[in-house]
Amino acid sequence: MKLQILLICAALLVLAVAESSASEREYIQNLEGMESQRSCSKWIGDKCVQTEDCCRGLCRCIDQNCVCAN
């Protein structure tokens, strides 16, 4: 009985660590995506324009920020 409880606890711990790692990875990817959007487009006058090829020419304004539209 004690062995079963120990195995269940170990399995739950492994699942918790795996979920934490996945969430952290997703958060980092989101930050990297936001950073690439900022560096690919900017305001020139009153227009949101591409500054590098990573936007593929498609930029837009979202909440007063100039970002890639893709």
Domain-by-domain residue ranges, the chain?
Answer: 1-31+41-69
Q: What are phi and psi of 54, to 5 degrees?
A: -70, -15
Q: Record the tokens describing residue 27, joined without a space.
A: 């958060």
| Amino acid residing at 9 | C
Q: Using alpha carbons only, give the angle 8, 1, 20 rounded to the nearest 5 degrees.
A: 10
Write out pLDDT tens, residues 11-63: 777 666 556 666 776 766 665 555 554 556 667 777 776 666 666 666 767 66
d(CA 62, CA 69): 9
* pTM for this model (two decimals): 0.34
